[in-house]
Structure 1
Amino acid sequence: MGGAGSENRWGDGARQKCEDLLDLRISVLRKNGLLETGRRGSLVWNVGGRACASIETFMNGQFLELTYYRREFAPELRRVHEIIPLEITEQPFGGERRWFICPRCDRRCAVLYAGEGFSCRLCLNLGYRSQYEDPRFRFLSKARKLRQRLGGSGNMMLPFPDKPRGMHRAMFERLYDRGRALEQAGLRALARSCLHGFSQR
């Protein structure tokens, strides 16, 4: 893996962001069938369309075994074997959901980040990039992500995406209302900023 995230340190001492590190998501493992007992597989991270890191996985009962390479002292690579406990919880309306158990703090979480081994956001003291965005753009950034989550374009000049196949109508309507509210809040914030700037001239 080459020390995933180790070359993304912020030189100015600012708090690192989740988006700066490679992440391991339970949803991606589930989507690729890698949570089935006895299943071996691999994940590849891409940056700019090119592979930047990879990891081998093996589902061993209630544990996920990870194998990857970390750069300790350039140009040396060290093979790392890591074991992540998993936990299953029952869902209120039926079904089950799996979680990682953070190896450092034993907290249940859906995403682990590559630092000195995989651990949760709190253990690595990570923030989200959106926390540091100008409020004018934070609303619009969330609105774009919601559109893309529904399978549409992040371009707000285009019509709002249609309901994805398989999604309940009630869920879609909630997301639609939230998306529209975010867009309007973002546009209002931009308008206030423009008016303020004009008044200062």
Structure 2
Amino acid sequence: MGGRGSGRQCSYGGKPETSDSMPLDIRKITRKGLLVTGNRFSWQWLVNDRQVAGISVRVDLQSMVLSYCMKSTGEVVEQQVQTQTSPCHLGGQRYWFTCPRCRKRVAVLYAPGRYFACRQCGGLGYATQKEGAGDRASTKADKLRKRLGWQAGILNGGGGKPKGMHLKTYQRLKSNHDALVQVSLHDIGRKLGFLHKLLEE
């Protein structure tokens, strides 16, 4: 099994990204039916269907014990992480990690270093935080295009109202989409103008 520290490194300057720091999501563990006291299982991280890291997990009462080998040093690390629950509105309960550093209730822990912790304690940023306003608008517009059943890419034009969608819903989504496209195109124009100015100098 690939040890901790065998995954990808941060992909840009500044804060490392959450996606590069082996996110351990208790919601996924719960959905797989693994969160049972006394259970032991392996958890792996894949990139392009290839394992890049993995840990062993033991489920105790109101906690998990994470065991992994640091690839850089060969050291075997064992970390106990507390878990907690909260009631759901429609019955049942939702499971959470308790961050080992700040004790805050979180659904996902990350391991940018030797130990797992929440995003804030790990000093991690989201990939979208490196995007400009135009990039973020384009990303949001593409999400709306997917919901509308349109081809991805803001330059591909609209595809009309999806069958079965209420007219008011369609008009609202299209209006939001068009506004985001204008923001993105304005940003593209600004960047092209700046580039043109540089080329003229």
Read off the aligned partner of 1:105 and give its amino acid letter. Answer: C
Between Structure 1 and Structure 2, whose CA radius of gyration is higher?
Answer: 2
Aligned residues: 186
Gaps of 5+ in 1: 164-168
Distance 1:146 1:43 in 2: 33
Matched, 1:83 2:80: yes
Q: Which amino acid aligns with 2:184?
A: L
Contact 1:26 1:100 in 2 (8 A): yes
> Is the CA contact 2:68–2:76 (under 8 Å) kept in the aligned structure 1?
yes
1:61 aligns to what? 61
1:51 deviates by: 0.7
Q: Deviations over 1:117-164 (max 9, x none)?
A: 11011111111121120211213324546777x8x898356979999x
Q: Offset of 1:107 from its aligned partner? A: 0.9
Query: Residue 16 of structure 1 aligns with which residue?
Result: 16
1:98-113 aligned at under 5 Å gives the runs 98-113=95-110
Alpha-carbon contact 1:142-1:182 (below 8 Å) kept: no
Structure-to-structure mapping, 1:165-184, within 5 angstroms: 183-184=177-178
Q: Is the 8 A contact 2:84 2:96 kept in 1?
A: yes
Q: Distance in 1 between matches of 2:163 and 2:82?
A: 38
Per-residue deviation, 1:95: 2.3
CA-to-partner distance for each residue in 1:67-92, whole Å, 9 max, x for gaps? Answer: 2111243xxx1222221100001123
- TM-score normalised by structure 2 residue count: 0.73
Contact 2:44 2:53 in 1 (8 A): yes
Report the aligned-residue RMSD.
Answer: 3.7
- Give the conservation status (yes or no) of the 8 Å contact 2:141–2:181: no
SS class of match (2:57): strand
SS at 2:116's partner residue?
strand
Counterpart residue identity of residue 132, structure 2: D
SS at match of 1:117: coil
In the aligned structure 1, how far is the partner of 2:172 from the partner of 2:189?
26
User: Equivalents in 2 of 1:184, 1:71: separation in Å?
Assistant: 48
- Taking a change above 3 Å as real, the CA distance of residues 104 and 179 of structure 1, as seen in their structure-2 partners, is farther
Stretches of structure 2 that go unaligned for 5 or more consecutive residues are none
Alpha-carbon separation, structure 2, partners of 1:96 and 1:161: 36
Higher share of residues assigned strand? 1
Q: TM-score, normalised by structure 1?
A: 0.73
